[in-house]
């Protein structure tokens, strides 16, 4: 049966080719049968050129390039090219071939052009995604005052304006349409409506729609789609219910808009559409599956899967990709993998299989299966398929998850080779990768080269600078972001508040706080916690406490922030009170919480309370103290002159004491005139930090305080031989 079908197709194709050849031959014969003398008389008598025109159109439709070029040469040879109707059809044939350079050359050679000629070329550039050239040609026509544009020309240019985002020209054409009373042209008005929608000016689109007396289903669908794309779902739904006769496109626009907004209503509208008797198609089903993924509705997703199988859509790659996404996001990776294995090698899929590969790749990343994602990336690359921006974005995300710079550099090299470095999505994630890995220099280079920067690029760079201690640069970038009127989120604001904390810049912090209130971030947990931290570190503890007390919900991070803030500002009693309140609320403290309480005790000199907390940490919560926890208790014991207990605790530590602990003990010896222990501490300090000049200065000062002048001189000389200690730097904020 298959062979018979193939044979039939070949016969049909052969017949079509023969028909084309016959048409071209007839046209050539037609030309040959008339001499130049006869041609003149024919033109004078306005003889019908229909056979020749039909042959040209047949060549264009059937893509018979060789026959078309042959026919062109015969037209020139016998002088038919000077006929405007013939020349326009010849131009249309080259446009059908998408030979735009040849078409424009022919256009330039035409001695006479009418509005059809100009419209053909403008439409050709618009259809082939070259709107700038279409607009340039239209402007040239107007400047030279060669032809008066009509509805068809306006429609072609408006489509170019929509593609290029040229709202200014679109509005000028709108004025021309009104002035020339073309408002009743339904096709033209629909194109105008679409232009405003694609330029994102839905308010102007609504004005056109409201004054549109001959609106059809296309008009309704265009304005509904415009509101959906702008995320204005209430307005879109209101129009949807006012629509005289809804069709599949109307339903799909609403469902897609709701799914994009992450609204449960998307699934409700899918059910309503089904009850209306309309068939769910290849657009509806992926949107429904997207909503299932968002709300983790595995049961509903499985029901849609059953509908897919029953309706015969299981070979649509877009639907299979959406199913893989749904199962992956619903934590059923095994089902996603099974579907992928079943269809990835299937030749019957209705489109390029890259969409399916990308969905599986995303599934592995979401479920933190980074090794499996790497293997899949390798397969995609080896298959020779043309990788897109989504694939590269996923590849960079794998590098981010693994924090692997070497792998990131390899992926970056491939991105550059495939010319995707300037893609705003890929470029933004690359900036985030380099920033998170501490390579701010490369991140900045990429950032400056990226033509369009989204919030991922800005926030990634700001957070990277903050992490590396480049606080002034981070704040400067944030200021640029605000000045450019770019949207910021609560995570960027949180990072900038940490920068203000590090700079001890309460003025800048208050400005950011004002922005939080204006943007509605003052109720977000992550932002409020950062505000408490900023005010605490800038010495404005009362403002920090006010922020904390007004928090509607408090998590471990917010409690820890206020405990640490109280400790840093010498309010140990309040820190311990907050700690007790936190435990009473049912929350479990973490290592940072305990460190905050111990630090508060250290600042207040509360030895017994610190000992109690230190023991409580292990006995009640099973947490092993870290070096920082040991430091707090040892420092307290040293301050209290309880050297034996401090020595015992140091000896029982599960890790080697560092420079900080020995320096703490050295200061305690100075304060309590403990000469016996200084030599022991000096021995350990010189063993662990022999190349640090500051150690020799500290030891020299300690010996001098204790009256050990010979030892002090030796240490000072050894320090000078090693190198001069860098001068300390203080940071102050000067009010302007």
State how far the Cα of 292 lies from the Cα of 262, in Å rounded to an integer. Answer: 10
pLDDT at 524: 83
DSSP notation for 47-81: ---HHHHHHHHHHHHHT-HHHHHHHHHHHHHTTGG
Closest CA to 72 of 37, 48, 97: 97
pLDDT at 591: 92
pLDDT at 25: 56
Number of residues in the chain = 736
The packing angle between helices 440-449 and 424-436, to 10°, is 160
pLDDT at 39: 44
pLDDT at 735: 55
What is the chain's percent helix, strand, coil content, to nearest 5?
Answer: 75, 0, 25
What does the angle CA 160 – CA 164 – CA 169 come to, to the nearest 5 degrees? 70
Q: What does pTM read for this prediction?
A: 0.71
State how far the Cα of 156 lies from the Cα of 222, in Å rounded to an integer. Answer: 17
State how far the Cα of 275 lies from the Cα of 267, in Å rounded to an integer. Answer: 12
Residue 11, SS3 per DSSP: helix
pLDDT at 656: 87
pLDDT at 723: 66
DSSP notation for 609-645: HHHHHHHHHHHHH-PPP-HHHHHHHHHHHHHTT-HHH
Find where tokens 């996001």 sit.
Answer: 329
Domain ranges of the chain: 1-112
pLDDT at 707: 85
Closest CA to 28 of 56, 47, 48: 56
Where helices occur in 296-436 by DSSP H, the ranges are: 298-310, 317-329, 333-343, 354-366, 370-383, 389-402, 405-417, 424-436
Where helices occur in 504-606 by DSSP H, the ranges are: 506-519, 525-537, 541-549, 556-568, 572-584, 591-604
Tokens of 714: 């030796």
pLDDT at 140: 92
pLDDT along the chain (736 residues), means of 10: 45 48 52 44 50 83 85 79 84 90 90 91 94 94 88 95 94 94 92 95 94 91 95 94 94 95 94 93 94 94 94 88 95 94 67 83 94 92 87 94 92 92 91 92 93 88 90 92 88 90 88 90 85 89 90 88 89 91 90 91 89 87 89 90 90 87 88 85 82 83 85 82 64 58
pLDDT at 629: 92
pLDDT at 26: 55
- The phi, psi pair for 403, rounded to 5°, reads 50, 50
pLDDT at 114: 92
Q: How many helices (H) and strands (E) does the chain have?
A: 42, 0
Q: Which long-range contacts (CB under 8 A, 24 or more apart) does 343-350 make?
A: 343/314, 343/315, 343/317, 346/315, 348/315, 349/315, 349/316, 349/317, 349/320, 350/282, 350/315, 350/316, 350/317, 350/318
């Amino acid at each position: 049966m298959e062979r018979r079908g193939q044979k039939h197709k070949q016969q049909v194709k052969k017949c079509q080719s023969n028909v084309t050849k016959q048409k071209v031959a007839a046209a050539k014969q037609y030309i040959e049968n008339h001499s130049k003398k006869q041609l003149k008389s024919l033109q004078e008598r306005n003889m019908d050129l229909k056979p020749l025109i039909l042959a040209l159109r047949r060549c264009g439709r059937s893509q018979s390039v060789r026959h078309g070029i042959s026919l062109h040469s015969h037209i020139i040879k016998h002088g038919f090219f000077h006929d405007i109707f013939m020349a326009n059809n010849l131009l249309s044939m080259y446009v059908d071939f998408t030979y735009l350079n040849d078409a424009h050359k022919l256009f330039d050679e035409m001695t006479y052009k009418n509005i059809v000629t100009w419209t053909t070329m403008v439409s050709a550039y618009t259809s082939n995604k070259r709107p700038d050239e279409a607009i340039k040609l239209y402007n040239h026509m107007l400047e030279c005052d060669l032809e008066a544009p009509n509805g068809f020309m306006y429609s072609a240019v408006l489509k170019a304006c929509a593609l290029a985002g040229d709202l200014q020209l679109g509005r000028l054409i709108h004025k021309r349409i009104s002035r020339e009373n073309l408002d009743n042209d339904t096709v033209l008005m629909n194109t105008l409506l679409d232009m405003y929608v694609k330029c994102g000016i839905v308010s102007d689109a609504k004005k056109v729609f409201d004054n549109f007396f001959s609106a059809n289903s296309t008009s309704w669908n265009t304005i509904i789609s415009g509101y959906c794309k702008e995320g204005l779902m209430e307005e879109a739904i209101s129009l949807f219910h006012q629509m005289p006769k809804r069709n599949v496109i109307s339903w799909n626009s609403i469902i897609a808009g709701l799914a994009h907004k992450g609204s449960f209503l998307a699934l409700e509208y899918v059910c309503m559409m089904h009850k209306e008797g309309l068939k769910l198609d290849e657009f509806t089903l992926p949107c429904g599956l997207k909503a299932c993924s968002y709300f983790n509705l595995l049961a509903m997703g499985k029901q849609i899967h059953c509908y897919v199988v029953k309706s015969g859509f299981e070979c649509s790659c877009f639907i299979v990709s959406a199913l893989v996404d749904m199962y992956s996001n619903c934590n059923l990776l095994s089902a996603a993998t099974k579907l992928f294995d079943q269809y990835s090698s299937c030749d019957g899929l209705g489109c390029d299989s890259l969409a399916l590969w990308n969905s599986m790749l995303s599934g592995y990343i979401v479920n933190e299966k980074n090794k499996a994602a790497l293997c899949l990336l390798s397969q995609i690359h080896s298959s020779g398929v043309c990788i897109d921006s989504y694939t590269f974005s996923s590849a960079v995300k794998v590098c981010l998850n693994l924090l692997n710079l070497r792998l990131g550099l390899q992926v970056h090299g491939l991105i550059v080779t495939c010319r995707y470095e300037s893609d705003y999505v890929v470029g933004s994630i690359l900036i985030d990768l380099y920033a998170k890995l501490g390579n701010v220099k490369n991140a900045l280079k990429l950032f400056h080269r990226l033509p369009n920067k989204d919030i991922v690029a800005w926030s990634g760079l700001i957070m990277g600078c903050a992490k590396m201690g480049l606080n002034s640069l981070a704040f400067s970038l944030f200021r640029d972001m605000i000045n450019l009127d770019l949207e910021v989120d609560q995570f960027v604001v949180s990072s900038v508040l940490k920068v203000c904390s590090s700079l001890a810049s309460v003025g800048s912090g208050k400005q950011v706080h004002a922005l939080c209130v204006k943007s509605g971030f003052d109720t977000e947990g992550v932002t409020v916690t950062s505000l408490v931290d900023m005010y605490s570190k800038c010495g404005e503890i009362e403002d920090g406490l006010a922020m904390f007390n007004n928090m509607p919900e408090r998590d471990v991070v917010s409690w820890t922030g206020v405990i640490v803030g109280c400790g840093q500002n010498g309010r140990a009693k309040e820190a311990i009170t907050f700690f007790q309140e936190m435990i009473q609320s049912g929350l479990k403290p973490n290592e940072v919480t305990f460190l905050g309480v111990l630090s508060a005790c250290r600042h207040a000199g509360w030895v017994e309370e610190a000992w109690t907390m230190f023991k409580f940490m292990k006995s009640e919560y099973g947490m092993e103290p870290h070096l920082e926890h040991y430091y707090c208790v040892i420092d307290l014991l040293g301050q209290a002159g309880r050297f034996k207990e401090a020595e015992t605790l140091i000896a029982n530590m599960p890790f080697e004491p560092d420079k900080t602990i020995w320096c703490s003990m050295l200061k305690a010896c100075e304060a309590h005139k403990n000469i016996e222990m200084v030599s022991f501490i000096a021995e350990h300090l010189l063993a662990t930090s022999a190349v640090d000049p500051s150690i020799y200065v500290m030891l020299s000062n300690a010996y001098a305080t204790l009256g050990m002048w010979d030892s002090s001189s030796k240490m000072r000389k050894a320090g000078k031989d090693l190198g001069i200690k860098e001068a300390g730097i203080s940071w102050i904020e000067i009010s302007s």
